[in-house]
């Protein structure tokens, strides 16, 4: 979604955290999975012009997912809203920040 300019970075970071949590919970999750996943995400965004500080936030979201996986399961809600309707809706975080304004060039 982020690469297609359908959401901002804040939404993508939440999606990374929520989608990777079950992978960390899996009983056969390999040692060093977080680093492997970060490398794959970095490769996906390599050469897109994304701000280097965003790569640090990927690691923070991945770390949060790993920590969440160590606790009992808890239902989560994506803190995002559609800011305008078009052919493909744009999702944004409800509490803007400097990181939320980062876009793919």
Q: Where are the domains of the chain?
A: 9-101
Least confident of 29-33, 52-56, 97-101: 97-101
Average pLDDT, the chain: 80
pLDDT at 87: 62
Give the Cα separation of 37 and 76 in Å (integer): 21
pLDDT digits (tens, 9 = 90+) for 84-96: 666 666 666 666 5
Q: Would the pLDDT of 99 be above 70?
A: no
82 vs 12, which has greater pLDDT? 12
Percent of the chain at pLDDT exceeding 70: 74
DSSP string, the chain: -TTTTSB-HHHHHHHHHHHHHHHHHSTTPPTTHHHHHHHHHHHHHTTS---HHHHHHHHHHHHHHHHHHTSPP------EEEEE-SSS-EEEESS--TGGG----
């Amino acid at each position: 979604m982020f690469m297609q300019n359908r959401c901002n970075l804040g939404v993508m970071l939440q999606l990374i955290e929520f989608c990777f949590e079950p992978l960390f919970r899996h009983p056969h999750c390999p040692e060093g999975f977080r680093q492997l996943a970060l490398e794959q995400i970095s490769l996906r965004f390599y050469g897109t012009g994304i701000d280097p500080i965003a790569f640090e936030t990927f690691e923070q979201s991945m770390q949060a997912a790993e920590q969440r996986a160590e606790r009992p399961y808890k239902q989560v809600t994506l803190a995002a809203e559609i800011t305008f309707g078009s052919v493909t809706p744009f999702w944004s975080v409800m509490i803007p920040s400097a990181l939320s304004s980062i876009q793919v060039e």
